[in-house]
Amino acid sequence: MPAKGASHSQSIVDLQTEVVAAREEFVASMSQLRAATTPAALVQRSARAVGNWFIDEYGGIRPERVAIVSAVVVGYVALRIARRR
């Protein structure tokens, strides 16, 4: 049977090890978060999301969504032209 002090010091060592591991995990998480929130990463993720909006689950283009965006662009251009006259 281990002495009372030996058991206590072992649990302190275990706690210190857990604290060091938690600190390293926290630092790694913060580094990943910092990398994911750079302006370039945010632009890339947004562009990917916009591109995925036009693509179906099989990788094909969704013509109805392309038509919606085309209609909006044509409508906007038509309004701009009408406003200038």
Residue showing tokens 């990943």: 32
Residue among 53, 52, 58, 49 nearest 68 (CA)? 53
What pLDDT was estimated at residue 57?
87
pLDDT recorded at residue 20: 96
**In the chain, which residues have pLDDT < 50?**
1
pLDDT, residue 1, reads 47
End-to-end CA separation in angstroms for the chain: 97
pLDDT digits (tens, 9 = 90+) for 45-54: 999 998 899 9
